[in-house]
Chains A and B, each alone.
Chain A
Amino acid sequence: MAVEYRPGLPTRNDNVSHRHPLREFVLLMSALAFAAAGVFWTLGLAVDAAVGHMSAGTEAAVEDAFRRAGPPMSPADPVRQAQLQRLADSLLACARRARPAQVDLAGDSNPNAIALPGGRIIVMSGLLEHVGSENGLAFVLAHEIAHLQHRDHLRAMGRGIVLVTIAAMLGSTGPDVVGMLGPVNQAQLLHHSRERERAADLAALDILACRYGHAGGATEFFRALQRNERKAPARTAHYFDSHPAIDSRIADIERAIRERGYGAGPLTPIALPAAPASRH
């Protein structure tokens, strides 16, 4: 049997896909990002539910674990830090929180304060330049204490764990997704949703009124930021990325003061010594 050889090349390569690889890449990336966001959102709701049902004992255990894990801070200004701690302790007596809160003063020019998973409150020294009275400062501390009281710090931590877990699972196939999502995780640890911020504002108002007998000075810090923002918009804009817009926040606080009949009384002058030069 003789078979004749007829030279020829196929006109089309059927062994490869002819779709553009970028199309596939974008399609797969967006599908995965969408799915991951969906999982994050769902598990975030689960975290909220779990934190809501957490017993006081578990809450204490989680906070203690994180307080030990946190980096020891050398106080930027021990005298002012001790004063902040005393102020916070007096506010805690008015808060629905049985556990203490450790206040640290960090040398940072940003006017900000944050509540951390270990039940710690970090006050940036820049914040002190934006409050004129003890009442104004007390409101900001009370706001952070309210975050602790509402377990917002545990919610943020739970979401952080979910985020890192998802990232680690995705990252096991190749790139360092955990590293890529680091800033995202940091941002979501420092910021709470608008409703959580509003709830913390309202609870802080109760604490303030309990401590001083009136709610004077509650909006002091926000008004100072508002003035600042008009002068230099970029400097404080980041603080409000996830915070309710400052104007509506002030309006909400003032409405709550009227509704709860707290009124305004004399402000206590701030007893802090003059601010030393920032060390950072």
Chain B
Amino acid sequence: MEALIFWAGLVAVGFFAGRWNESRHYRSIEAREREWLQLPVTSAKEPLGDADAIVRAELVSGSVVVSVDYFKRMLAALRGIVGGRVQSYETLLDRARREATLRLKESCRGADQIVNLRLETASISTGEGGGVGSVEVIAYATALYRAPQRAA
């Protein structure tokens, strides 16, 4: 009985804390995405617009590690028995991808555009049972800079 109460408590803590963290993170992501909307990021190899105006290119990256909560882990474990979409990890990875891309953008203020965006995901296992503990997403790309425009 104690084991059941302990487990239910962990699931409840995981659920409420996880929901709170996730909605806070999403609010931050959405606000920053609006803020950085004017900096184009593409996965294309060629720059947008006039390539001759580019004077500098540099490798930039942004990485983030987000942990799964107990509730999400239980939900994924249940899914692991019956199969199907692991709904609980979808938001986790979505947040990680967007956060990594935002950090990448934030690392190159003043860039004209970012091309050749790549995203890579790694899971950081908790060790015991091989369960997924956290996910890391790293975004890397090439930031392109134009010559500073002189005031007319």
Judge whether B87 and A15 touch: CB under 8 Å.
no
User: For residue A32, which residues in chain B have a CB less than 8 angstroms away from its CB?
Assistant: 78, 81-82
Q: Does B3 contact A (CB under 8 A)?
A: yes
Q: Does B15 contact A (CB under 8 A)?
A: yes
Stretch at the interface among A3-11, A79-87, A132-140, A228-236: A3-11
Which residues of B lie under 8 Å from residue A13 when comparing CB positions?
Answer: 94
Q: Is B74 an interface residue (CB 8 A)?
A: yes
Judge if B136 is at the interface, Cβ distance under 8 Å. Answer: no
Binds A, one of B34-42, B57-65, B142-150: B34-42
A175-B48 contact in complex given A15-B94, A17-B85, C-beta closer than 8 Å:
no
Pairwise interchain contact B48-A5, C-beta atoms closer than 8 A? yes
Contacts of B82 in A (CB 8 A): 28, 31-32
Looking at chain A's contact residues, the main secondary structure is: loop
The reply to whether the CB of B79 lies closer than 8 angstroms to some CB of chain A is: yes
A17 in contact with B87 given A180-B4, A183-B1 (CB within 8 Å): yes
Q: What count of chain A residues pass the 8 Å CB interface test?
A: 30
Within 8 A of B (CB), among A1-48: 2-5, 7-9, 13, 15-17, 19, 21-22, 24-25, 28-29, 31-32
Query: How many residues of chain B have a CB within 8 Å of chain A?
Result: 33
Decide if B81 touches A173 in the complex (CB within 8 Å). yes
Q: CB of A241 within 8 A of chain B?
A: no
Give A15 to B49 CA distance when docked, in angstroms: 29
Chain A residues, Cβ within 8 Å of B71: 21, 25
In the complex, are the beta carbons of B15 and A22 less than 8 A apart? yes
Q: Which chain A residues have a beta carbon within 8 Å of chain B's beta carbons?
A: 2-5, 7-9, 13, 15-17, 19, 21-22, 24-25, 28-29, 31-32, 170, 172-176, 179-180, 182-183
